[in-house]
Amino acid sequence: DMALWLPRSAQEALAAIGPNDSGALSGMRRLAFRLERSCKASLKTLERSGNAVQGLSFGEFSELQRELEQAVLFNEGAKPGDDETMAAGPGFQRDSVAEKELEHLISSGLYGPFPEPAAPVSLKVEGGPKAAMDGSLKLIGRELLEVNRLLDGALLSEPALTDVVRKEVIELFSTSGKRLRPALVLLVARALGAPTEKLQRVASLAASIEVLHCASLVHDDILDASELRRGVPTSHMRLGERQATLVGDFLFATASCLVAELGSMSVVLLISKVVADFGRGELAQNAVRFEAVAYSLEDYLAKSFYKTASLLAAACQAAAVLSGVAPDSKEAGACYRFGAYIGLAFQVVDDVLDFTSTEEELGKPALADLKEGNLSAPVLFAAQTELGSHGGKALGSAHRRELVMCLERRLSEDGDLERVMALVAEADGVAQSKSLARNFADLAVAELAALPEGEARRGLCIFAEFVVARTY
């Protein structure tokens, strides 16, 4: 029933478009018709085989679908008919309400109102910010060991059907990297007082988040033609684009399985939105290469949310849910916003480092994004016609036109890159970007007021400070 109903419904959806003889629509009609014909032929073959075919009837499937929707939309453990509030908010939905919430998050960082600065968390310890961060991670040392066990490349690659994919997954996870995302997930759970048995599930979530992040990097490197990451050749440079794409697909599937095995429909829904956001962010980025006039700071931050911050926001809220917090509670919402603000700060700092660090420090070519036309905060601040609340200096109209012209011709003339760098420096674009990152970090820390006081909450404050103080 289901196999026949789906292509027929597709044909009905096309019919609703009305008279249209475009080649694209004709192709879609042919595809739906061929799919229905193929399903009929396959079903007839099954009937003739004489083997008993067992499954759900369409009515049984509809009932199952209704029950699943209720499990997702209502709080964990709620029964249909209970007076439970549906799990709502930007983490669970992508609608006009969620868009408004995202606009508010972005506007808060750009224009305020800014929270009163919290008591500063000192990172001035022997060894610098990294040492301070390492100290806070001792709170979750046992759980991080479990995450590292789950992220063993040999273990992750077992389901792979080809040696190429298996060997590449082992290679990708042979070094631990920064593993900041798993640490953030575990700190959130610890701050919410998750008991040991719940922390084990959170560790599995943390591992899935890292796998999902790695999958997105493999695909990003292909799209951006990046040759290096962390100082070593990227997957597509080692394998070619086709094989590297399959590796990324395998990691996306692996992450999805890890999330599904957690047994929480709320967490599945949260993470599923992130996967869609990756695509949305990549499309937004590729549509505006070298565009400094129509592409605003708001557009840049929205793209940054979809490509980077969405994952951290969903991961923090999912950690709250697995810790026993209701999906639509004040604490869960605060965790989502904390992750979103941290993610935006992280991306802005990344873009600053692209301007201020060397290839050796970055593990990849400096100014790579600018050369590819992916304009970030320092350039967009310089291109503004008016100053905001982040200091800086407005370029004169002649210099601003010069900046736009260099970008419009895609840095194709000798000296264009150096001139853009000089104009960004003249406008204090890097300093303004650092101020923006600081605002997002302060907003993130303000959200922690909804969490219980304790060492883990302080660890999250240190995490926020580390994001804006880091140099790698």
Q: Are 218 and 198 in contact (CB under 8 A)?
A: no
Q: Is 314 exposed, middle or buried (0-12, 13-18, 19+ CB in 10 A)?
A: buried
**Per-residue tokens: 435:** 């101020």
Give the DSSP H or E segment for 232: strand 232-233
Angle in degrees, 0-180, between the axes of helices 310-322 and 196-223, rounded to the nearest 10 = 160
| Three-state secondary structure call for residue 357 | coil
The pLDDT value recorded for residue 34 is 78
**Centroid of chain to Cα 56:** 36
Helices (H) and strands (E) in the chain, counts: 23, 2
**232: which strand partners?**
229
Question: What pLDDT score does 28 carry?
Answer: 77
Q: How far is CA 338 from CA 57, 85, 180, 382, 460, in A?
A: 45, 22, 15, 28, 9
What pLDDT is recorded for position 67? 66
Measuring CA to CA, which residue among 384, 282, 301 is closest to residue 348? 301
pTM beyond 0.85: the answer is no
Residue 158, CA distances (Å) to 36, 244, 263 in order: 36, 17, 22
pLDDT of residue 2: 66
**pLDDT score of 93:** 86
Q: Which two tokens stand for residue 104?
A: 């508010």
Q: Do 168 and 235 contact (CB within 8 A), yes or no?
A: yes
In order, the DSSP letters of 430-442 are HHHHHHHHHHHHH
48 burial (CB, 10 Å; 0-12 / 13-18 / 19+) is: exposed
Tell me the average confidence (pLDDT) per consecutive run of 10 residues in the chain, 472 residues long: 73 77 73 79 76 65 65 49 54 88 95 72 65 89 94 92 93 82 97 94 97 95 89 93 94 94 92 92 89 91 96 98 94 97 97 90 86 94 81 87 95 96 95 95 96 95 93 75
Calculate the CA dihedral of residues 300, 304, 306, 310 and round it to 10 degrees.
-140
Cα separations (Å) of 326 from 77, 187, 273, 298, 406?
10, 18, 19, 31, 51
Secondary structure class of 229 (helix, strand, coil): strand
| Burial bucket for residue 304 (CB in 10 Å: 0-12, 13-18, 19+) | buried
pLDDT of residue 63: 72
